[in-house]
């Protein structure tokens, strides 16, 4: 997969995505990550890319033209353009799975007070991490790219590693345990020590539902409603 990020601060995205699983995906060629900086397309010697908002207000707004030119440089046929904004559709695992099917992604990162609204028409999708405001789109880009990359074929050593993860089936993931069997008087559930795969599977499913009901009842209610619609 090829991913380009339109950003004023490439290092904010490049550095965290150079480590661990995503870093290995880049080294092996499974992910090709590039950057395009609007400042390189500024029209004055000061490399100006922002200006005061019309109508007044605090902060500065990124101008449309430098962002447009930075996007134009990396956009190819088949590119899917994503504008990261708190006004967008909320990102979730289902969306990560959909984006992982694309061949080319481009993320546009806003900064300061945001980007001139007229840039929105350049995007195929407006995406948000949640109902809060970040310094810019860069941290959001890191999160989305990480979530998408680990779903690409060959990135994880075990092909089924993402099947039973949190949110994959609409539930939180069942609890995990490792050695020792007893830690500070707390024991590993007997079902996980049984060697009985059906029993282990049943325990994990029941535990996932119980955990979801306790910590994220909204997810459990959504799944129950979905199940009712399929009956």
Does pLDDT of 104 surpass 60? yes
| pLDDT band at 161; cut points 50, 70, 90 | low
- Tell the burial category of 109 from Cβ atoms under 10 Å away from its Cβ (0-12, 13-18, 19+): buried
Does pLDDT of 25 surpass 60? yes
According to the model, what pLDDT value does residue 168 have? 56
Buried b (16+ CB within 10 A) or exposed e, 30-56: ebebebbbbeebbeeeeeebbeeeeee
Distance from C-alpha of 110 to C-alpha of 93, rounded to nearest angstrom: 23
Distance from C-alpha of 8 to C-alpha of 35, rounded to nearest angstrom: 9
Does pLDDT of 169 surpass 80? no
Which carries the bigger pLDDT value, residue 123 or residue 228? 123
According to the model, what pLDDT value does residue 43 have? 86
* Cross-strand pairs, 83: 108, 126
| pLDDT band at 170; cut points 50, 70, 90 | confident
| pLDDT band at 222; cut points 50, 70, 90 | confident
pTM score of the predicted model: 0.87
Nearest Cα neighbor of 76 from 137, 180, 3 is: 3
| Domains by residue range for the chain, with CATH | 2-149 (3.40.1280.10), 182-230 (no CATH)
According to the model, what pLDDT value does residue 147 have? 98
Which carries the bigger pLDDT value, residue 231 or residue 196? 196
């Amino acid at each position: 997969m090829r991913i380009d990020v339109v950003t004023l601060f490439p290092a904010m995205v490049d550095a965290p995505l150079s480590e661990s699983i995503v870093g290995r995906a880049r080294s092996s060629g499974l992910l090709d990550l590039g950057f395009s900086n609007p400042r390189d397309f500024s029209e004055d010697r000061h490399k100006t890319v922002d200006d005061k908002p019309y109508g007044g207000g605090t902060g500065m707004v990124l101008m449309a033209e430098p962002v447009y030119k930075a996007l134009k440089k990396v956009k190819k046929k088949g590119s899917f353009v994503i504008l990261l904004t708190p006004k967008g559709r909320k990102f979730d695992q289902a969306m990560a799975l959909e984006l992982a099917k694309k061949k080319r992604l481009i993320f546009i990162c806003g900064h300061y007070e945001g980007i001139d609204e007229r840039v929105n028409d350049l995007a195929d999708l407006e995406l948000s991490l949640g109902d809060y405001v970040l310094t810019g789109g860069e941290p959001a880009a890191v999160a989305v790219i990480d979530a998408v990359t680990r779903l690409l074929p060959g990135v994880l050593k075990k092909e089924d590693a993402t099947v039973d993860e949190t949110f994959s089936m609409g539930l939180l993931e069942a609890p995990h345990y490792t050695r020792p069997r007893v830690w500070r008087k707390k024991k590993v559930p007997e079902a996980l020590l049984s060697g009985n795969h059906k029993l282990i599977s049943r325990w994990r499913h029941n535990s996932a539902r119980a955990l979801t009901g306790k910590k994220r009842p909204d997810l459990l209610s959504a799944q129950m409603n979905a199940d009712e619609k399929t009956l």
